[in-house]
């Protein structure tokens, strides 16, 4: 059954990726799609900064600015940051726990295609009457007033991709609980696995409220319900609550895997075991738990009353404790280590002070009385870009450089990588540091222009120059990727030479069954232990035998495509008579595909023992 | 034990749904999914409680005007009984008795259909006699969304169990199909549990005031 690997040609490759259920190929799909949306979101960010570079600018109209600003936030959160993290999780996580794939390879593919079609649907709005314009939070009072189909692209697009995210979350949870190899106890799991585990649990419990609130908005706008219509007894504050009950855990869903990546990077390049591993695990779980207790700190000015505000303020400040534990653990991991200043390590070093600034301004925001001053100003914009860009995007870039050889078998150029880092790091601080002061001077966020003579000119100009630095940095990264892909110099199992965990014990890229024999784990940093004892490979935990692998399938694509079609039907149903048949037709495609999946037996296939003995250079050996 | 192995009553394991790694993954994954579903319904309940009796003006029916105990009691009995019959089905699945298992699943489906018929009658009654619709008030939207989501789950569950029974009508049990039946019954129990909450929160609390 390994014959499918021998197919050649573009169409065969395309078909391979459309039907793949291999976590490593799905990682590539997430990376390409997430990278594409990251570029779109980045272009939107540049447009915002061009518009705000000088006072009274008319580069973008107010209406266009609203669309660009909304799409920048929505794209970056849902369609760039999350899929890029999923790319790294898919690429590395099964390898880190010594598994041959995720628990549900089919669902893994389904999750990707849901995200993909959701993102495409959302972005088609640019060509079909305008993009969403109510901000990424899409507060009901704004979004119900938005005319045309703009908000419907937002709701339906997010809904489809949200289903995919939920599936990915459940999949990673089951993978981590059930698929660990012999000896890989919970307290020996690499930090990236741990943070993915907690982030997945957050996904599981945070996405349903989003699903429901988006359903409310879909129903209100397209099917005549009255959830948010105050005249008919509705209440728009329900949207705010439900959105932030999702929205706050969401930021931890993003930043916890980022913490995991930095834990790996700092440990690898300090060539030391992670300091305070147990406290790191504890802090991760505690952040995940507290993340659900703080949503109303986004709503201090809504008028929930002083008692509610005080409770949420204190709960928010409490999160600083586990986060502080993590920061000190990273610092003490580096303490006395033999540090190698590689590109990923530079990102990690840049991350720590940047994220601390974001954390400190977070505490300032958490003080609910003071927040009345900061609310809806550029202070908040500065704050969350310090956490999300300084935390999540730095981590994605660090992880990309770190795991690029594991994903593609070739190293990114270190010199160009460091140039990217410095451009990005300097540009990031130029752009966002000054925004705190703009906010304190009273510049409101989400406003398309400002007047001259109010002291806002210099700050905004500096901010826009910084954005240009980041854009150049991103271009250097793309050049780097192209150059190294063309050169394609193959590397061995452990290209950084200091790999500590199981993913570095297999070839780069790994064979599609990952491990010929599942490895035996004898402690934290399993591969490092073997290396320190003079071995080159992991000790196998099982005799060489047939390997069971899942079959490829086109059904995930069809299930997601059905929802994509149905979304168009739902959206145009109030205006055109063809809407309803298209809605029903799309659902028929989706549920029909699900039915086929359910009725058709799929036992997967086996890679025979004899086949494995031929290519003895791959995977763990006996 | 291999997944496609032909098994007999003697060799059938005590927990066939968890005998293979695939089965273990499915059972755990499904429990986690139900955890997410719990939050989903919790959100709907919270919204319902926030918008209960929230109508634009006098003349709109409120919860205390709408609900009647006999119908809701009948629906509750139908659904609770169907949960019991699905337990019988799984009991026979664990004893490698595919025939009896399918029989009890068919009974489960029939009871579920009875519940669904009552719900359709109920909604129709509210719309025609009380002018209580999806669009008439925020209360109406919240009510039909909460109870309707549950109803949609019932429809999906009925389709699922029917599909499984039809597909396996002529087949013996195997370690491949056992987890499928087990998960369908888990789903059905979940629907039942949600209904217990709907019965208490929507109907009982609605009638008391």
DSSP assigned state of A603? -
Rounded-to-integer distance, Cα B93 and Cα B7, Å: 13
Instruction: Indicate yes or no: CB of A208 within 8 angstroms of CB of B40.
Output: yes
Q: Which helix (H) or strand (E) holds A285?
A: helix A277-290
Contact A247, A294 (CB under 8 A): no
* Model confidence pLDDT, tens digit, residues B89-100: 999 999 999 999
Rounded-to-integer distance, Cα A264 and Cα B62, Å: 58
Q: How far is A234 from chain B (nearest CA, A)?
A: 5
User: C-alpha angle A483/A486/A489, rounded to 5°?
Assistant: 95
Which has more pLDDT, B10 or A354? A354
pLDDT band at residue B209 using 50, 70 and 90 as cut-offs: low
Rounded-to-integer distance, Cα A288 and Cα A206, Å: 11
Please list the ranges in chain A whose pLDDT falls under 70: 1-8, 614-622
The phi and psi torsions of A430 (rounded to 5 degrees) equal: -60, -45
Instruction: Indicate yes or no: CB of A598 within 8 angstroms of CB of B160.
Output: yes
Query: In Å, what is the CA distance from A243 to each residue of A79, A81, A123, A579?
Result: 17, 18, 21, 28
Q: Which of B25, B50, B55 sits opposite A238 (nearest CB)?
A: B50
Note the Cα B148 to chain centre separation in Å. Answer: 12
Rounded-to-integer distance, Cα A23 and Cα A92, Å: 9
Instruction: Indicate yes or no: CB of A232 within 8 angstroms of CB of B56.
Output: yes
Instruction: Find, among A73, A153, A618, the residue nearest to A388 by Cα.
Output: A73
pLDDT at A169: 96
pLDDT at B5: 74
Nearest residue of chain A to residue B181 (CA atoms): A598
Rounded-to-integer distance, Cα B70 and Cα A410, Å: 71
Instruction: Find, among A338, A337, A292, A344, the residue nearest to A319 by Cα.
Output: A292
pTM as predicted = 0.95
Chain A CB contacts of B145 under 8 Å are 215-216, 219, 225, 227
User: C-alpha angle A357/A361/A367, rounded to 5°?
Assistant: 155
CB burial readout A481-512, b (16+ within 10 A) else e: beebeeeeeebebbbbebbbbbbbbbbbbbbb
Instruction: Indicate yes or no: CB of A232 within 8 angstroms of CB of B138.
Output: yes
Contact A284, A248 (CB under 8 A): no
Strand partners, A549: A605
A positions 145-204 inside 8 Å of B (CB): 166, 170-171, 173-174, 177-179, 204
Note the Cα A214 to chain centre separation in Å. Answer: 20
List all residues 6 or more positions away from A211 whose beta carbon is below 8 Å from its beta carbon.
Answer: A159, A162, A163, A166, B40
pLDDT at A611: 83
Chain B CB contacts of A226 under 8 Å are 135-138, 140-141
pLDDT at A371: 94
DSSP assignments along A416-484, one per residue: HHHHHHHHHHHHHHHHHHHHHHHHHTTPBTT-S---TTSS-HHHHHHHHHHHHHHHHHHHHHHHHHHHH
pLDDT at A618: 47
CB burial readout A28-60, b (16+ within 10 A) else e: bbbbebbbbbbebbbebbbbbbebbbeeeeeeb
- What is the CB-side half-sphere exposure of residue A240 using CA atoms within 13 A? 14
A positions 68-127 inside 8 Å of B (CB): 103-104
pLDDT at A599: 87
Mean pLDDT value across chain B: 94
Rounded-to-integer distance, Cα A374 and Cα A386, Å: 16
Task: Using a pLDDT cut of 70, give the percent of chain B over it.
Answer: 99
The phi and psi torsions of A444 (rounded to 5 degrees) equal: -75, 150
Rounded-to-integer distance, Cα A245 and Cα A241, Å: 6
Rounded-to-integer distance, Cα B10 and Cα B5, Å: 13
> What is the three-class DSSP state of A519?
strand
């Amino acid at each position: 059954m390994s014959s499918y690997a021998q197919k050649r040609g573009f169409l065969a490759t395309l078909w391979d990726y459309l039907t793949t259920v291999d976590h490593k190929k799905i990682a590539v799909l997430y990376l390409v799609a997430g990278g594409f949306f990251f570029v779109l979101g980045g272009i939107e960010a540049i447009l915002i900064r061009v518009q705000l570079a000088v006072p009274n600018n008319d580069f973008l109209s107010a209406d266009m600015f609203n669309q660009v600003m909304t799409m920048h936030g929505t794209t970056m959160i849902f369609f760039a940051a999350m899929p890029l993290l999923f790319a790294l999780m898919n690429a590395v996580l099964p390898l880190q726990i010594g598994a041959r794939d995720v628990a549900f390879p089919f669902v893994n593919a389904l999750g990707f295609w849901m995200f993909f079609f959701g993102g495409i649907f959302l972005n088609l709005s640019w060509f079909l009457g305008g993009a969403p314009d109510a901000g990424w939070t899409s507060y009901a009072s704004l979004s119900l007033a938005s005319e045309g189909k703009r908000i419907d692209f937002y709701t339906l697009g997010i809904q489809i991709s949200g289903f995919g995210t939920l599936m990915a979350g459940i999949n990673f949870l089951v993978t981590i609980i059930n698929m660990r190899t012999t000896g890989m106890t919970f307290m020996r799991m690499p930090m990236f696995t741990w943070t993915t585990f907690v982030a997945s649990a957050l996904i599981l419990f945070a996405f349903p409220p989003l699903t429901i609130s988006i359903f409310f908005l879909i129903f209100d706008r397209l099917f005549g319900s009255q959830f948010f219509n105050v005249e008919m007894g509705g209440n728009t504050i329900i949207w705010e609550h439900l959105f932030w009950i999702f929205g706050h855990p969401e930021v931890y869903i993003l930043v916890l895997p980022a913490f995991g990546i930095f834990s790996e990077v700092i440990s690898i390049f300090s060539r030391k075991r992670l300091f305070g591993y147990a406290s790191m695990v504890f802090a991760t779980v505690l952040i995940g738990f507290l993340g659900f207790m703080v949503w109303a700190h986004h709503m201090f000015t809504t008028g929930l009353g002083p008692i509610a505000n005080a409770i949420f303020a204190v709960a928010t400040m409490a999160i600083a404790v586990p986060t502080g534990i993590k920061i000190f653990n990273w610092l003490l991991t580096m303490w006395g280590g033999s540090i190698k200043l590689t590109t990923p390590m530079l990102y990690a070093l840049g991350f720590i002070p940047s994220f601390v600034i974001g954390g400190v301004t977070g505490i300032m925001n958490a003080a609910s009385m003071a927040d009345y001053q900061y609310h809806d100003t550029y202070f908040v914009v500065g704050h969350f870009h310090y956490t999300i860009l300084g935390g999540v995007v730095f981590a994605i870039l660090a992880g990309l450089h770190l795991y690029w050889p594991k994903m593609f078998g070739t190293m990114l150029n270190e010199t160009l990588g460091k140039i990217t880092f410095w451009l990005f790091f300097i540009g990031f601080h130029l752009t966002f540091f000054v925004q705190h002061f703009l906010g304190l001077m009273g510049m409101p966020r989400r406003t398309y222009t400002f007047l001259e003579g109010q002291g806002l000119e210099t700050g905004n100009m500096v901010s826009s120059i910084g954005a240009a630095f980041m854009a150049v940095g991103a271009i250097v990264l793309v050049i780097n990727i192209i150059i190294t892909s063309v050169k394609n110099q193959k590397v061995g199992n452990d290209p950084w030479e200091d790999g500590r965990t199981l993913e570095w014990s297999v070839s780069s890229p790994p064979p599609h069954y990952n491990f010929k024999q599942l490895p035996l784990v004898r402690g934290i940093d399993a591969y490092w232990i073997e290396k320190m004892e003079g071995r080159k490979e992991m000790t196998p935990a099982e005799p060489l035998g047939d390997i069971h692998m899942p079959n490829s399938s086109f059904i995930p694509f069809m299930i997601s495509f059905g929802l994509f079609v149905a979304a168009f039907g739902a959206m145009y149903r109030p205006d055109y008579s063809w809407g309803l048949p298209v809605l029903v037709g799309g659902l028929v495609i989706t549920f029909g595909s699900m039915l086929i999946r359910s009725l058709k037996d799929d036992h997967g296939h086996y890679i025979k023992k004899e086949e494995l003995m031929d290519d003895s250079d791959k995977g763990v050996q006996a | 034990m291999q997944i496609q192995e032909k098994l007999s009553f003697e060799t059938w394991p005590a927990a066939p749904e968890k005998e293979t790694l695939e089965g273990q993954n499915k059972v755990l994954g499904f429990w986690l999914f139900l955890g997410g579903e719990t939050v989903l319904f919790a959100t709907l309940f919270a919204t319902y409680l926030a918008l209960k009796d929230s109508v634009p003006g006098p003349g709109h029916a409120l919860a205390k005007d709408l609900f009647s105990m006999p119908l809701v009691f009948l629906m509750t009995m139908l659904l609770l009984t169907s949960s019991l019959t699905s337990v019988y089905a799984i009991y026979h699945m664990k004893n490698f008795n595919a025939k009896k298992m399918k029989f009890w699943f068919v009974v489960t489906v029939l009871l579920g259909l009875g519940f669904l018929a009552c719900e359709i009658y109920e909604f129709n009654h509210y719309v025609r006699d009380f002018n209580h619709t999806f669009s008439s008030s925020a209360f109406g939207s919240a009510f039909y969304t909460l109870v309707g989501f549950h109803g949609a789950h019932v429809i999906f569950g009925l389709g699922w169990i029917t599909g499984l029974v039809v597909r396996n009508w002529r087949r013996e049990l195997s370690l491949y199909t056992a987890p499928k039946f087990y998960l369908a019954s888990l789903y059905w129990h979940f629907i039942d549990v949600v209904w217990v909450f709907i019965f208490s929160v929507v109907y009982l609390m609605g009638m008391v005031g």
